Amino acid sequence: MDLRGPAITDRVWASLPYLLPLVDGVLFGEYLFRQFPALQIFLVPLAPLMVLNSGFFGLIVFFLIFLLVVRNSNINRFIRFNAMQAILLDIVLIICRVVLQILGPTLQGGLIIETLMNVVFLGMLAAVVYSVVQTVRGEYAEIPTISEAVHMQVR
């Protein structure tokens, strides 16, 4: 672990925004959790956040992170980078949700929808876990295309 990198507190603060795509992405794991009920044990720590995420709360948190953290140049760039990356991961999930809602009636909940939802869930989970691990290590999590967009937004 590189001790010359961001402070431990900065690493913790930079990891917290990844809860947003994690909580929003649990919806896509619906079929996976049905097939493997034992995996639901991992949802227990997220349960309070999932309850709060109903309605406009997720949208409010989304805008608060963007306006109070990402756009605040007084906050460490490392924290702002990770907050913006978490927001972009959440936007990707929102787009996937819209696409699946459009395709849902056409595919009628068959194997294709289940596979797509599992892929989105596992991809999101991998991206969040990778990002949090890199953040805790004090390094920037470089996710192709998303991180490039983040670097352009966070100066």
DSSP assignments along 87-148, one per residue:
HHHHHHHHHHHHHHHHHHHHHTT-HHHHHHHHHHHHHHHHHHHHHHHHHHTT-----TTHHH
The number of C-alpha atoms within 13 Å of 144 and in the hemisphere containing its C-beta is 0
Query: What one-character-per-residue DSSP string does 13-56 give?
Result: HHHGGGHHHHHHHGGGGHHHHHH-GGGGGGGGGGHHHHHHTTTT
Structure token digits, residue 60? 């409010």
Residue 3 confidence (pLDDT): 55
Is the pLDDT assigned to residue 2 strictly greater than 60?
A: no
Q: Quick check: 106 pLDDT over 90? A: no
Does the pTM exceed 0.85? yes
pLDDT tens-digit series, residues 54-70? 667 778 888 888 888 88
CA distance 12 to 135: 8
The answer on pLDDT for 31 being more than 60 is yes
The predicted pLDDT at position 54 comes to 67
Q: Encoding tokens for residue 152?
A: 């352009």
69 secondary structure, DSSP code: I
Distance CA 11, CA 46 (A): 20
Mean pLDDT lowest among 53-57, 70-74, 90-94, 144-148: 53-57
Selected residue with higher pLDDT from 152 and 56: 152
List the end-to-end C-alpha distance of the chain, in Å, as a whole number: 25
| CA–centroid distance for 55 within its chain | 18
